[in-house]
Amino acid sequence: MGQRGGIGSRPCLLVVDITYAFTGDRPEPILESVKRFPNSCGDVAWETLPRIAELIAAMRSRSLPVIYTRQAPRVNAVTAGAWARKNSRVLASAVVGVDPMQIPDVIAPDHGEIVIDKDKPSAFFGTTLLSYLNALRVDSIIIAGTSTSGCVRSSGVDAFSYNYPTVVVEDCCFDRSLTSHAVALFDLHSRYADVVRLDELLPMLGATGVSGASASR
């Protein structure tokens, strides 16, 4: 358990659920941010965004694909599904004038980059993600995003289940709870993925190829 599995020659970066719903629309302490964005992770999100932006830029500079996910709209109890049983504020009204599904400008998708709406934790469940990975000839997955213990973890487990070599970038993920963040990373590294820091990952990308299908769709 916990061996390094490595990365392929054509990885895809999966940027999981980094929207205003989980960051708030500005840096502020979590107890303030959740008053307007109930799922916000507060300051830790904004501390992490510059590193995610650096990772995205590194992928683009190597012509490697970047795919984003975000929470699908939950307009009623049916679309909220099982979330409504665990979160009494899941259908709370959005902040006036702010789209909670907007991806912050600092990491915003380039023209043509894929953005997938999902309504369950995993980026794979009930989405077209796998078909895009096949079309792009992806051979491994890099994951950044939020929350580490929820959507990042479940996406990592599903990537493992589809037999993709998977890397989770420790300092490009964040969570509302530092304990949950740490335990999720420990479990992922033990069983399902390589957990590395950004400064470890960037040299690994230097060995990857730049050929293959475009990430534009």
pLDDT tens digits for range 180-195: 999 999 999 999 999 9
Query: Is residue 41 annotated as a catalytic residue, yes or no?
Result: no
Structure tokens at 201: 């990952």
What pTM does this model have? 0.89
Q: Which residue has the tokens 């964040």?
A: 174
Residues of the chain with pLDDT under 50: 210-217
pLDDT at 2 (0 to 100): 82
3-state class percentages of the chain: helix first, strand second, coil last, to nearest 5? 35, 15, 45
Which helix (H) or strand (E) covers residue 21, if one does?
A: helix 20-23
| Catalytic choice (12, 41, 151, 172) | 151
Report which DSSP code applies to 25: S
pLDDT at 74 (0 to 100): 58
Q: Which domains does the chain carry?
A: 11-205 (3.40.50.850)
* Residue 137, helix vs strand vs coil: coil
Structure tokens at 214: 């475009």
pLDDT at 139 (0 to 100): 97
